[in-house]
Amino acid sequence: MAHILSSSIRVFWAATALNLIGNLLGYKELAMMTKPFLLITLAHYTWYALAPQGRLAYAMTIALLFSWLGDIFLLFDNTQVFFILGLLSFACTHILYTAIFLSWGRGKGQQSLGGIVLSTALSLSILMFSILYGNFLWEKTGDFRIPVLGYIILITMMAIAASWRFQKAHQRSFAWALLGSLLFVLSDSSLAYGKFVSPYPLQGFVIMLTYILGQWCIVKGIVAHES
């Protein structure tokens, strides 16, 4: 088991390094060739890391496989159909992550008053950012307006669900999963800006760096909770 886990994670980080180098230096072919290996190897690692947990292992692995499908579809996002399919795939990931954060990803602990205040403040901050950024994008998304709005709602719910694990999950698990959720939000916000507003320098690198780290942090948070 340890050999399988170490092999999966080595391949994941090797693919990550090559993908980021490709995006940083403008080697588009390298970035495209390595992208399909990212989430499939992370899903493989997660399955074996959580294997004793039964349904949680299935839920996390399926969530990551939906992200893997999203990565594949977005390789061809110059066509409307593939962009929508990518959006739907990642929407399924966020639905599963939300369910995991609200059920398996939390313990039986009760929040103190300070914990409730912190989770409420985090939730309101996430919600405010989503409202403001969604309003900023509204006129710029054109035919994608409704799908993008739906997606914003789902990813916001996911991040808010992560913020309510404070004192209900192990401290490390809460911190990693929340960080991962926020990085995921940042990645998708960066992607939306580049697609609907204006391309910017190192766009691919910024999107993939925050996306990969976000997914890894979420996995690390859930695995830490169940360890």
pTM confidence score: 0.94
Average pLDDT estimate for 16-32: 97
Confirm if 7 and 33 have CB atoms less than 8 A apart: no
Quick one: angle between helices 28-49 and 203-226, nearest 10? Answer: 10
The pLDDT value recorded for residue 79 is 85
| More confident call, 186 vs 224 | 186
Nearest to 119 by CA among 64, 78, 160, 171: 160
Alpha-carbon distances of 211 from 4, 38, 97, 102, 144, rounded to whole Å: 24, 11, 15, 22, 21
Q: Are residues 105 and 221 in contact, defined by beta-carbon separation less than 8 angstroms?
A: yes
What mean pLDDT value characterizes the chain? Answer: 94
Q: Extract the tokens encoding 150.
A: 């739906």
Distances in whole angstroms, Cα of residue 169 to Cα of each of 32, 51, 120, 214: 37, 19, 16, 19
Q: Could you give the angle at the alpha carbon of 222 between the alpha carbons of 218 and 224, nearest 5°?
A: 115
pLDDT for position 227: 64
Residue 202 has pLDDT above 60, yes or no: yes
Q: Which range of residues forms the domain containing residue 204?
A: 2-226
CA distance linking residue 152 with residue 147, whole number of Å: 9
Which of 227, 206, 225 minimizes the C-alpha distance to 23?
A: 206
Neighbours of 52 (CB within 10 A): 10
Q: Identify the pLDDT of residue 5.
A: 85
- pLDDT tens-digit series, residues 103-136: 865 556 688 999 999 999 999 999 999 999 999 9
Our count of domains for the chain comes to 1
pLDDT at position 2 over 80: no
What confidence tens digit (pLDDT) does each residue in 37-94 have?
Answer: 999 999 999 999 998 778 999 999 999 999 999 999 999 977 899 999 999 999 999 9
